Amino acid sequence: MSQIILKDINFSYGNIHIFKNLNQKFAGPGLNIILGRSGSGKSTLLALIADLLKPESGTIEISPNAKPAVVLQSPLLLDYLTLEENVSISCALNGSQIENDEIHHIFKLLKIEDLLNRYPKEVSGGEMMRASIARALICKNEIIIMDEPTGQLDDKNSWEIYKILQKLAKDHLILLVTHDEKASYKIADNLFLLEHGTFKLLKSKAIAEQKEKRRDNTSSGLSFTQGLKITKKYLKTKKLRVILSVIFLAFALSLLYLGINLRLQFPDSIKSLMNQFYTYNTVEIYKEETITSSSSHLTLKRREALTENELKQLKIEESYPCLSYFLSEQREIYFHGKTSAIRILPCFEQSTAKLAKGHPIQEHDQIIVNKSFLEVFNLSFEDIQNDELFIDENKIIYLKELKSTDIYNKCFNFHIVGLAAEKELFNTPTIYYAYHKIYDELNKIYLPNISKEIGELITITDLFYITNNMSDDFRSQKTLINIADPIFFYQEIKEIENISINSKVIEAHEASDTIISSLTIILVIFLFLFLISALNLEFLAIYSLYDENIRLFALLALYKGSKKNKNILAICTLVLFFVQTFILSSILSMLSTVIINNLTNAFDYPHLLKFFDTISFLIVNMFSLAISFIASSLPLKRIKAEDVKKELEGEE
Ligand code: ADP
Ligand code: MG
């Protein structure tokens, strides 16, 4: 190992004392840099080491026992020799022989291999300095001392030299005097300040290595509980922000919970809602044909009944031609001195009818009304039970193909026998009549004129079948079918082109679906806003602890597993945020479920939400975990090693 040991050195110029009992040791390899004010004695020191000056007393031990190579501020190149000759002459002066290859190698190392045959005047200052370093290297001294070699160079050239010195310092003991304080901190292995004739150590590779070693030897990292304690304490210092962010997050998550819960429970609750909404589920089915005029200004839609084959393909067992020609679905009804728009709907399932009062329809002239019906006429069921409701339908049957013009004026005289037990909310006033019975009744009515003309007995209902094969306007355009689960059927049939179905239940289902969809959109927007605010607050809470975190990280850097410790801190922040959010959002979700269910119940609706829905609960908490993870690990990750290092150096 090469070293320079100064023992009790005394030196003065006349009566100016430069060194008084100076003791200092430089051991290599390594880049030792000496800083100091001008006039502090740096050049004098190097001159003493280079044996250019003799100390008044004391000894300078240099091992290996050889004069160090010297590089000075001035390159001291001989103008009349090429760079190569300038370098080789130093060995000649020493009395040693040198190979050309070696010079080439060193010139290459210093990146001046192209300048071998140039004269000093033909190269730049930086290149001259490199040549002078080459001259120092050629003698293979293990020790090189340099007195401000970059003093006359610009920053760029200086850095080139420094880089070379760093490389050389791997197997040389370099003693460098410079004014460049900034660069010195970066490149020095050991950095000294010469002041009042003594050395002060500014930076030490040995101490850093020792620290590194110490860090490696400390096996214990930060424990999870310690991490939690630290995190808890520092989150506490920004209490308001943490609490706000948790509340925001919890609120957003409980919204999300409600949304998912609603989506999952919706089909069930809507089914039970529909069961309570309409007493009868009659479905109309028809083909729809779009006719577009050649100029495309006009688009017509024509409805047509399905053929028996088509019905069979759809697995529909029971079907009837629609009677709306005789009994229109919407009409004004004059009743108890008042006129109102009423829906007249056919029904099949008399036996399963949900009735609040009265009895199911048994005869063709019996009808059931609903509560909304009572409401529009301001009556109670008792007032109108067995009352008569007169419906007068004027229909013109004009059939060119059958060569006859009949005008039929069909009057229906109904008795009110029952009150449908359906929800009032959003329901329209409705009358239900027994489809079969009316159909059978119509079946008995003969059309004498037409029968005469075509020579056989024809009833009104026969016309449905006859006209099915004709292009006349009078025809059953729709088919009534009896389906147990219209919503399920609707979903099955939805994809089939041209075929449409119509049912109050499906209409209501579609309407509520639309409502839920728009609600979901609003919910999502809210959720998004809340989440952003929550994330923002959480980031703020964590970032506002930035300084404390850096200090904490600086501390951690002194111990083994600093990365592991960082992770533990991130995990602890995550755990704390997650647990708080989890508890709060669970409470909020449950609470709002109860509130919403109670609210809908007040409006005669079934429960819309499950009190505890596992799937939504899991999704929400995964979400919460992900947010906590991002919020707690990103800010910690953004603390840079340099910040920590600065903090460390600042504290030393
Ligand atoms: P540095 O290199 O740190 O600027 P020097 O070692 O060159 O300082 O000089 C140290 C002090 O000694 C300075 O005050 C300088 O004036 C003085 N000095 C240097 N050389 C001589 C000399 N030959 N005769 C008298 N004083 C000198
Ligand atoms: Mg000097």
Q: Which of 135-144, 335-344, 561-570, 611-620 has the lowest mean pLDDT?
A: 561-570
Among residues 213, 235, 255, the one where a domain terminates is 213
**Which residue would you say has higher pLDDT here, 29 or 293?**
29
Instruction: State the SS3 of 174-197.
Output: EEEECCCHHHHHHHCCEEEEEECC
Ligand nearest 37 Cα, by number? 1
Domain annotation covers residue 219: no
- Closest residue by CA, ligand 1 atom 15: 39
Joined tokens for residue 5: 């040991």
Q: Which of 178-187, 357-366, 504-513 has the lowest mean pLDDT?
A: 504-513
- Closest residue by CA, ligand 1 atom 25: 13
What integer pLDDT is reported at residue 31 of this predicted model?
A: 94
What integer pLDDT is reported at residue 94 of this predicted model?
A: 66
Q: Are residues 342 and 267 in the same domain?
A: no
**E strand or H helix at 413, and its extent?**
strand 404-420
Rounded CA gap, 307 and 305, in Å? 6
Q: Which of 44-48, 249-253, 344-348 has the highest mean pLDDT?
A: 44-48
Read off the pLDDT of residues 135-174 as tens digits, 9 standing for 90 and up.
888 878 889 999 998 887 788 888 888 988 998 899 899 9
Q: Are residues 434 and 516 in the same domain?
A: no
Pocket test for ligand 1, best of 11, 18, 35, 193 (most atoms within 8 A of CB): 18
Read off the pLDDT of residues 90-128 as tens digits, 9 standing for 90 and up.
777 666 777 788 889 889 888 899 999 999 999 998 899
How close is the Cα of 66 to the center of ligand 2, in Å? 23
Return the DSSP state at 306: P
Q: Are residues 21 and 130 in the same domain?
A: yes
Domain annotation covers residue 486: yes
How close is the Cα of 147 to the center of ligand 2, in Å? 7
- Closest residue by CA, ligand 1 atom 6: 41
**b/e for 31-55, b at 16 or more Cβ within 10 A?**
bbbbbbeeebbbbbbbbbbbeebeb
- Work out which ligand 1 atom sits closest to the CA atom of 37: 3
Q: Is the pLDDT of residue 651 over 50?
A: no
Read off the pLDDT of residues 5-21 as tens digits, 9 standing for 90 and up.
999 999 999 999 999 99
Ligand nearest 148 Cα, by number? 2
Read off the pLDDT of residues 612-646 as tens digits, 9 standing for 90 and up.
888 888 988 888 888 888 877 777 777 777 776 67
Pocket test for ligand 1, best of 15, 16, 22, 46 (most atoms within 8 A of CB): 16
Q: Are residues 267 and 147 in the same domain?
A: no
Percent of the chain at pLDDT above 90?
A: 20
Q: What dihedral angle (degrees, nearest 10) is formed by the CA atoms of 50, 52, 57, 63? A: 20
Q: 403 pLDDT band (50/70/90 cuts)?
A: low
**b/e for 165-200, b at 16 or more Cβ within 10 A?**
beebbeebbbbbbbebeebbeebbbbbbbbeebebe
Average pLDDT of 300-311? 80
- Closest residue by CA, ligand 1 atom 26: 13
Give the CATH number, domain containing residue 100: 3.40.50.300
How close is the Cα of 615 to the center of ligand 1, in Å? 84
How open is the CA angle 399-405-409, to the nearest 5 degrees?
A: 105
Handedness of CA 389, 390, 394, 395 (dihedral sign): positive
What integer pLDDT is reported at residue 479 of this predicted model?
A: 79
Among residues 213, 232, 257, the one where a domain terminates is 213
What integer pLDDT is reported at residue 466 of this predicted model?
A: 67
- Work out which ligand 1 atom sits closest to the CA atom of 14: 25
Among residues 467, 501, 535, the one where a domain terminates is 501
Bridge partners of residue 396, in order along the sequence: 407
Burial label for 344, CB within 10 Å (0-12, 13-18, 19+), is buried
What integer pLDDT is reported at residue 487 of this predicted model?
A: 78
How close is the Cα of 124 to the center of ligand 2, in Å? 23
Pocket test for ligand 1, best of 43, 73, 176 (most atoms within 8 A of CB): 43
How close is the Cα of 44 to the center of ligand 2, in Å? 7
Range of the domain at 602: 224-273+512-651
Rounded CA gap, 586 and 607, in Å? 19
Q: Is the pLDDT of residue 579 over 80?
A: yes
Joined tokens for residue 372: 């909304």
Read off the pLDDT of residues 62-93 as tens digits, 9 standing for 90 and up.
987 777 888 888 888 888 889 998 888 777 76
Read off the pLDDT of residues 466-508 as tens digits, 9 standing for 90 and up.
655 554 444 446 778 877 777 788 888 888 878 888 887 788 7
- Closest residue by CA, ligand 1 atom 2: 43
Looking at the structure of the chain, the number of domains it has is 3
What integer pLDDT is reported at residue 652 of this predicted model?
A: 41
What integer pLDDT is reported at residue 277 of this predicted model?
A: 66
What integer pLDDT is reported at residue 394 of this predicted model?
A: 64
Q: Are residues 206 and 237 in the same domain?
A: no
What integer pLDDT is reported at residue 369 of this predicted model?
A: 93
Taking CB atoms and a 6 Å cutoff, what residues make up the pocket around ligand 1?
13, 16, 18, 36, 38-44
How close is the Cα of 91 to the center of ligand 2, in Å? 26
Of 312, 320, 345, 321, residue with least CA distance to 331: 345
Domain annotation covers residue 542: yes
Q: 48 pLDDT band (50/70/90 cuts)?
A: very high
- Work out which ligand 1 atom sits closest to the CA atom of 42: 3
Ligand nearest 53 Cα, by number? 1
Average pLDDT of 439-443? 85
Domain annotation covers residue 454: yes
- Is beta strand 388-399 parallel, antiparallel or unpaired with respect to 479-482? unpaired
Q: Are residues 358 and 453 in the same domain?
A: yes
Handedness of CA 272, 276, 280, 284 (dihedral sign): negative
How close is the Cα of 159 to the center of ligand 1, in Å? 27
How close is the Cα of 39 to the center of ligand 1, in Å? 5
How close is the Cα of 45 to the center of ligand 2, in Å? 9
Q: Are residues 189 and 230 in the same domain?
A: no
Read off the pLDDT of residues 246-302 as tens digits, 9 standing for 90 and up.
888 888 888 888 888 887 887 777 767 666 666 677 788 888 777 777 777 777 777
Provide the 10 A C-beta neighbour count for residue 623: 20
Of 581, 589, 533, residue with least CA distance to 247: 581
Ligand nearest 34 Cα, by number? 1
- Closest residue by CA, ligand 1 atom 7: 43
Q: 219 pLDDT band (50/70/90 cuts)?
A: very low
Residue that has been written with the tokens 């930060």 in this structure? 222
Domain annotation covers residue 354: yes
How close is the Cα of 199 to the center of ligand 1, in Å? 17
Pocket test for ligand 1, best of 34, 44, 70, 177 (most atoms within 8 A of CB): 44
Return the DSSP state at 10: E
Q: Is the pLDDT of residue 456 over 90?
A: no
Q: Are residues 423 and 548 in the same domain?
A: no
Q: Are residues 316 and 449 in the same domain?
A: yes
Whole-number average pLDDT of the chain: 81
Measured in degrees and rounded to the nearest 5, phi and psi for residue 412 equal -110, 130
Q: Are residues 78 and 145 in the same domain?
A: yes
Q: Is the pLDDT of residue 392 over 90?
A: no
Domain annotation covers residue 233: yes
Measured in degrees and rounded to the nearest 5, phi and psi for residue 431 equal -115, 135
Domain annotation covers residue 294: yes
Q: Is the pLDDT of residue 589 over 80?
A: yes
What integer pLDDT is reported at residue 86 of this predicted model?
A: 86
- Work out which ligand 1 atom sits closest to the CA atom of 43: 2
How close is the Cα of 53 to the center of ligand 1, in Å? 12
Domain annotation covers residue 507: no
Average pLDDT of 563-581? 82
Q: Are residues 84 and 20 in the same domain?
A: yes
Q: Are residues 471 and 519 in the same domain?
A: no
How close is the Cα of 18 to the center of ligand 1, in Å? 8
Pocket test for ligand 1, best of 11, 13, 72 (most atoms within 8 A of CB): 13
What integer pLDDT is reported at residue 458 of this predicted model?
A: 82
Ligand nearest 38 Cα, by number? 1
